[in-house]
Amino acid sequence: MKKTLFYIFATLLVLVWLMPFVITMFTSVKSMDELMMGRRWWEPPKELRFENYATAWQDANMGRYFMNTFIITVPSVLGALFLSSLGAFALAWYDFRLSKTILMIFVGGMLIPFQMLLIPVYRMSISFGIYDSYIGVILFHIAFQLGFCTFFLRNFMKTIPASIFDAAMIDGAGHFLIYRRIVLPLVVPAMAALGILEFTWIWNDYLWSLILIQSDRFKPVTLGLVNLQGQWITSWNVMAAGSIIAAVVPLVVFLLFQRYFIEGLTVGSVKG
């Protein structure tokens, strides 16, 4: 009996949670006329217009935007993970005077209202000649995410017992070797977890691509979606279809890596 009640409760909760998604799905297969006439968002569509998905893919150029988003997101995530692991390693294992200060600097970066950086970063990318290019956005994402990633990984590395490190040092291992062969494998779960979060954030980034990319051929999916908001008209149905297509990738990434995700954050929290 208790179990049934529980099931009902949990199911209700999930249904309520999914409601916005359901609405989006409905909207994505409605015709524009249906939307402009009897706009009740929660009603199922009168006729199914799956061609909205085709329109989103072709006319709205989703295919190319998808490619672009991959080209931007994957190197950014890998770069951020790699560089932050280097910094985290230094901050977690080495006792030097400025280490706490530098940690604070990285943490401070987590707090910056990013709009504040818009114009200076824009100008910098022009002076460096990397405006309107993949590399311009990638470098920025890597740098900007270093704050949170370094902090996160450093905390995690701190939970590895010092004895492992000391033993390796005694064995005469070089520092980089210790980083590569000993510490990194231990933090792979955390890095996978972090990777998922970073992937989702960068995949869904809108503002920075807006500022740093001008040409249509480099645009990521988020910009493509917004372009469906016309000067006067918004094609809600195509936009809904496009949004669902765009959401598929972060969802797949989550599904693929979720066990690391749960594991990764766990080991850190058990150690406290």
The three-state (H, E, C) secondary structure of 64-109, written as one string: HHHHHHHHHHHHHHHHHHHHHHHHHHHHHHCCCCCHHHHHHHHHHH
Comparing CB distances to another protein, the nearer of 11 and 48 is: 11
Phi and psi at 129, nearest 5°, equal: 75, 20
Please report how close the Cβ of residue 48 comes to another protein at its closest, in angstroms.
Answer: 18
User: Is the CB of 46 or the CB of 214 nearer to another protein?
Assistant: 214
How many CB atoms are located within 10 Å of the residue 106 CB? 20
250 token code pair: 């972060």
Residue 182 or 267 with smaller CB distance to another protein? 267
Interaction pattern, residues 31-50, with another protein; x per rule: CB under 8 A: -xx--xxxxxxx--------
User: Rule CB under 8 A: is residue 161 a binding residue for another protein?
Assistant: no
**Residue 25 binds another protein, judged by CB under 8 A:** no
User: Alpha helices, DSSP H only, in 94-161?
Assistant: 99-111, 118-127, 134-157
209 binds another protein (CB under 8 A): no
CB of 50 to another protein, least distance (A): 19
Q: Residue 66 in contact with residue 243, Cβ under 8 Å?
A: no
Q: Which of 112, 164, 188, 256 contacts another protein by CB under 8 A?
A: 112
> Can you tell me the distance from the alpha carbon of 38 to that of 34, in angstroms, rounded to the nearest whole number?
6
Residues 219-248 that bind another protein (CB under 8 A): 222, 225-236, 239, 243, 246-247
Q: Using CB under 8 A, which of 52, 53, 62, 75 touches another protein?
A: 75
Q: Does 123 bind another protein (CB under 8 A)?
A: yes
Under 8 Å CB-to-CB from 268, ≥6 apart: which residues? Answer: 155, 156, 159, 190
Site membership for another protein, residue 146 (CB under 8 A): yes
